[in-house]
Structure 1
Amino acid sequence: MNWYDKLNQYFPIEEMKSKEHMELLLREKADIYYKDEGSNHVLMYVEMDDFIFIDYLFVSKEARGQGLGHKLIAKLKEKNKPIILEVEPLDYKDSDTQKRFRFYEREGFTHAESIGYRRRSLATNKINQLEILYWSPTNESEESIFEKMKTTYEEIHTYKDKDLYGQSYSDVDEVLTFDQHGDR
């Protein structure tokens, strides 16, 4: 199974970029968009001068609990930049979301309480709400994380969206919101 099929099998359709989109990023944004792939994992990430954004992290069921996810995150932490990612909201009926939150919690990630993220999926036309988690070696402010997320959205998520999907994603200011008081 190729790297895209592994991701596509694991992530909900609303969260998946097309294979064409990801291959385009790997080609045309090769200076910032990377793929780290092994027999039991796929890690797609963006590395900017001042932060890292994890686009997708997949560890196969066979390798879970063996420290592979920890090793991949540790390798990114060595770069000493804030690391940001999006996750599905915690759902107590879904053990996968609980495990995911616990994993990132153990890795030292913080839930960005003041950042709201609601994006319409071009694949399903449904509103997809995600939570922003981040790790920072320097006590980064949520406002700074918010600005970095906006950059990611504009540079990566909506890259050539009209060409790729026949329509554009919503404007960044409709998708990402910042609430000083943390009650989005």
Structure 2
Amino acid sequence: MNWFEKLNQYFPIEEMKSQEHMETLLKEKGDVYHKDEGDKHVLMYAEFPGFVFIDYVYVSSAARGEGLGHKLIEKMKQKNKPIILEVEPVDYEDTDTEKRLKFYHREGFTHAKSIGYSRRSLATDEWSQLEILYWSPEDANEEELFEQMKQTYEEIHTYKDQTFYGKSYQPVDEVLKLDEKRRPDSMLDTFEQKD
């Protein structure tokens, strides 16, 4: 099974980029978009001058318990830049969503409470809401994170979208919203309160 098939089996269709999209990013934006692949993992990420965006992390079930996910996140933390990623809100019928949030909480990630993020999938035409998590070597400012997410959306997520999907994603201002008063219930908040 190649790296794309591994990701495709693990992530919901509405979150997946096409293989052509990712291969083009690796080829045409190779200074920014990267693939870290091994027998038991696939990590796709974008590294910008001021931050890292983790696009996909896949760890084989055969490697669970070996600390491989922790090692991959540590490798990203060594870059000494804020790390941003998107996760699905917890779905109690899908235990993987809760496991993912617990994992990122253990790794020191925080929920960006003022950033709202919902987009229409070009694969399914359905709207999905995602939560933004971040880790920062210094105190991160959510306004800066918001600008970094906008940059990621415009330079990575929607890169040549018309070419790959035959239509375009929504404009960034329809997808990402910054609201200082927004305090959504997040599973991550629940984990933070338990500590």
**So what's the TM-score if we normalise by structure 1?**
0.98
How do residues 1-184 of structure 1 correspond to structure 2 at under 5 angstroms?
1-183=1-183
What is the percentage of aligned positions where both structures have the same residue? 69
Q: CA deviation at 1:88?
A: 0.5
2: CA distance, partners of 1:70 / 1:57: 11
- Paired residue type of 1:93: E
- Paired residue type of 1:25: L
Q: CA deviation at 1:64?
A: 1.2
- Paired residue type of 1:35: K
Q: Deviations over 1:131-157 (max 9, x none)?
A: 100000111111111110000000000
Q: CA deviation at 1:101?
A: 0.4
2: CA distance, partners of 1:75 / 1:158: 27
1: CA distance, partners of 2:78 / 2:107: 13
2: CA distance, partners of 1:65 / 1:34: 25
- Paired residue type of 2:89: P
- Paired residue type of 1:64: R
Question: Could you say what the CA RMSD is over the residues aligned between the two structures, in angstroms?
Answer: 0.9
Q: CA deviation at 1:90?
A: 1.4
In the alignment, structure 1 segments of 5+ residues that lack a partner are none
1: CA distance, partners of 2:92 / 2:53: 26
How many residues get paired?
Answer: 184
Q: CA deviation at 1:181?
A: 1.3
1: CA distance, partners of 2:4 / 2:78: 26
Secondary structure, aligned partner of 2:42: strand
- Paired residue type of 1:71: K
**So what's the TM-score if we normalise by structure 2?**
0.93
- Paired residue type of 2:180: Q
